[in-house]
Chain A
Amino acid sequence: MKGGTAIMTTTRFAAALAAAVFLLAAAPGAARAAGPLDDPGFAKVITCAACHGANGNSGSDMMPIISGLDPAYFKRQIENYAAGKRPSPEMEPYAKEVQFLGADQIAAYFAAQKRVPTPIRVSAEAAARGKTIAAQCVVCHGPDGKGEAARLIPGLAGQPPGYLAQQMALFKGDTRDPGDPLLAAKKALMKIIPDGQFADLAAYYSSLR
């Protein structure tokens, strides 16, 4: 459309439509089936999809998948973002919005969503190299990278590689949750892993299913 007026000539319109057969289907009087709105969490998470994808299943490299996260881990991240302990210009404001809407319900909503692994493919060589380095991570993240909810250890399997590598750097630099005793052992470990190995480690965990 050009300019300030939205005027269409009648002839043009007729030419466009009269040449066609136009059917609009409708289900007359159909009763409403159970829909996503029946879960009150659905309407509370609408803003998250712009980054985290449909139902928390991010398809992009730098945005974490948040479906299927353990609710206690989820809520702790929201608290830490809101308090500025886990610094993120994106998540600090959004964490406060989550707190306004109800963190319990939102954590429960995402916990109930089926996790779809990242569509991003990594090179098999990088993943294989990462696997040998990952021997040190197994104690906490488990042999399958699924984490351990009781200890607030998140699953890494299937997360996008870019996000994983970036978090490793944040842990190493002690910029993610500085001083958090839960993370002391993890950070000590990250400090002895050379930066050059992060991409391989990330490729390995990202490739796990």
Chain B
Amino acid sequence: MSRLTRRDFLRSSGVGVGLGLGAGFGLSGCAGTMTGDIAPKSGRRVVVIGGGWGGSTAARYIRIADPTIEVVLLEPNREFVSCPFSNLVLSGQRSIESLTLSYGGLRARGVKIIHELATAIEPDTKRVRIGEGYLAYDRLVVSPGVDFQWEQVEGLAAARDTVLHAWKAGPQTVQLAAQIQSMPDGGVFVLTVPRVAYRCPPGPYERICQVAWYLKGNKPKSKVIVLDANPNIVSKTGLFRAAWRAYPNIDYRASQKVVAVDTSTREVRTEFDRVKYDVLNLIPPQRAGAIAVQADLVGADKRWCEVDHVTYESVKQKNIHVIGDATIGLPVPKSGNVANNMGKAAALSIVSLLNGQAVPLMPPGNTCYSWVSDREAIAVVNAYKIENGKVVQIEQKLTPAQSVSVAQRAEGWRQSIWADMLS
């Protein structure tokens, strides 16, 4: 987490531009007094935990649908970095800067952003704790994304600063790109895929395309070894297989679950085998973001959160809505597009509930574009309905083949959906 200066904080919280309307709360600079109510609530307030794909969208749509509701967003990162398109950073097609967006648009809509972690949730008193202080809420949105189950791979917890996942776009994405670039020609890049469910089912396979594309052109003697814990490519199977025909440097091995990593010998161990690497990208097994686990929003599996399919209210805690990758039980992939749609449905449900109105049915939808080279992409599209209170898939459709025009539409989707979250 970044250290804050007074000026940073004033800027980030929007205080410097005079948001206070009398319901003010002053801190006079005596350290250690940050106990108690950080900002007493005077009207209706929704607190949103996590300013990623789900949380940003939820915050934005509450303000659009009813600007009399106060929205406070907790997000430790100062800027938003998009996971979608981040695999293109690994092949040198995009820069991380081109995927980095400001929270200014949300601020302009009156969302109050505090760049801090929520440290605990107190459902009984309807409070979110931020260290020693707290914020009261009427309803809470929890969109913390995923965290990693380091303990599932022997040796990983100790090596987690050097063995990269790059599964949260940001510094690790840039570091992994640098490792790939400095790998000698002839070097072996090993990528491991966890068993489902994990964030972005087609993501690892898009990444394999991008790295293979880069190596083919720049390090022709190198290869990509894929150790997939699943019995086959999890998503868009036929389309990825077709795309990989252009990359004879891919060595794909199904049903190879990684159980250990040894950085001293540069080796990963699966249940059956040992594989040497020059660069390792180990995507660990995942679960809902830590705060959801701590707050006991997760089910018996201790991994994911079950929710109502209409309002996204937690089945375990009232007035808490969980969205995005942290959820389970809907027949949807863990994608940014789904998180975005859940954010809207949760936001409009909350606005309806706070205004004593009926909640409309808002089934999600999903499109996942994957880049299979520098110019071509493929896509999977899912549409849903709600029947008897449950989300049901209507149809899943794939692009017939990879093409430049799908890639152009991917670009259009990126532009539109970024604006739908943050503008």
A binds B: yes
Q: Are B34 and A18 in contact (CB under 8 A)?
A: yes
* Residue B309 CB within 8 A of the other chain: no
* Residue A115 CB within 8 A of the other chain: no
Q: Are B9 and A50 in contact (CB under 8 A)?
A: no
* Residue B30 CB within 8 A of the other chain: yes
**Mask of A35-58 contacts with B, CB within 8 angstroms, 1/0:** 111001011101101111110001
Contacts of B379 in A (CB 8 A): 89-90
A8-B119, A54-B420, A100-B394 in contact; A20/B15 too (CB < 8 A)? Answer: yes
A30-B43, A32-B355 in contact; A90/B70 too (CB < 8 A)? Answer: no
**Mask of B1-42 contacts with A, CB within 8 angstroms, 1/0:** 101111001100101000111011111011111100011011
How many Å lie between the Cα of A12 and that of B130 in the bound state?
11
* Residue B399 CB within 8 A of the other chain: yes
How many Å lie between the Cα of A37 and that of B350 in the bound state?
12
Interface size on B, residues (CB 8 A): 97
**Mask of A145-182 contacts with B, CB within 8 angstroms, 1/0:** 00000000000000000100010000000000000000
* Residue B364 CB within 8 A of the other chain: yes
* Residue B384 CB within 8 A of the other chain: yes
Q: Which of B89-97, B144-152, B320-328 contacts A (4 or more CB under 8 A)?
A: B144-152
Q: Which of A60-68, A135-143, A185-193, A195-203 contacts B (4 or more CB under 8 A)?
A: A60-68
* Residue B400 CB within 8 A of the other chain: yes
Q: How far is the CB of B403 from chain A (nearest CB, A)?
A: 11
Q: Are B416 and A51 in contact (CB under 8 A)?
A: yes
Q: 6 smallest A-B Cβ distances: which pairs?
A: A13-B131, A23-B20, A93-B383, A60-B412, A26-B43, A47-B365
* Residue A29 CB within 8 A of the other chain: yes
**Closest chain B residue to A38 by CB distance?**
B357
Residue from A22, A28, A53, A63 having most chain B Cβ neighbours under 10 A: A22
* Residue A194 CB within 8 A of the other chain: no
B 320-363 contacts with A by CB, 8 A: 337, 340-341, 344-345, 348, 351-352, 355, 357, 360-363
Contacts of B384 in A (CB 8 A): 97
Given contacts A8-B117, A25-B112, A51-B409, could you give 6 more A-B pairs where the C-beta distance is less than 8 Å?
A1-B290, A28-B42, A42-B348, A50-B416, A51-B413, A94-B381
Q: Are B290 and A6 in contact (CB under 8 A)?
A: yes
Q: How far is the CB of A7 from chain B (nearest CB, A)?
A: 7
Q: Are B148 and A3 in contact (CB under 8 A)?
A: yes
Which of the residues A13, A19, A40, A54 comes within 8 Å of B132, measured between beta carbons?
A: A13
How many Å lie between the Cα of A47 and that of B57 in the bound state?
12
Q: Are A17 and B1 in contact (CB under 8 A)?
A: no
